[in-house]
Amino acid sequence: MLSPKMLQALNDQLQAEYFSSYLYLAMAARCADLNLPGFAHWFRVQVQEENQHALKFFDYILLRRGTVELKGIEKPKGDWPDAPTVVEDALKHEQYITQRIHNLVKLAREENDPATEAFLQWFVTEQVEEEASVDGLVQQLKILGDSPSGLFIMDRELAKRQVGGAE
């Protein structure tokens, strides 16, 4: 049995994963508006990954015979001026999610719940990859600076991303 505290924290993370999905959907929409279809595609793939993260929490709660509580999802912002601000916000968001996952691991230890701690290990590793892939975009955009042709080429590269791959 999950402790009440652990159950609440897992349900909160289920909500946070769906917020991640919603945020990246907003980023996909903004990138499409900015005429960057490759960036838009990259974020749409990210949406699918976040939905998978959410479902992992959903399935785990049920597996432990906990009650899933679906909470409301906040409206994400959508007014990023350009690609660098979009990806910088995506990186900040991933860093925030990493912190949340680490807090969950801490709570699982405090609640003496090694099964949940083991379940969370997948997310600990995943967050390292998530941060690295978004940081890769931030760094590439810094190198490009104001080069429209560089941005065009990068956009074409991002259009090739497939589900399960960082790029």
Pick 3 or 95: Cβ nearer ligand OFO: 95
The verdict on 20 binding ligand OFO (CB under 6 A) reads yes
Phi, psi at 16, each rounded to 5° = -65, -35
The verdict on 133 binding ligand OFO (CB under 6 A) reads no
- Binding residue count for ligand OFO, defined by CB under 6 A: 7
DSSP 16-83: HHHHHHHHHHHHHHHHHHTT-HHHHHHHHHHHHHHHHHHHHHHHHHHHTTPPP-PPP-PPPP----SH
| Nearest distance, CB of residue 8 and ligand OFO, angstroms | 18
The verdict on 155 binding ligand OFO (CB under 6 A) reads no
Q: How far is CA 93 from CA 19, 87, 88, 127, in A?
A: 10, 10, 9, 11
Q: In the window 67-126, what residues touch ligand OFO (CB under 6 A)?
A: 94, 97
For ligand OFO, the binding residues (CB under 6 A) are 17, 20, 50, 53, 94, 97, 130
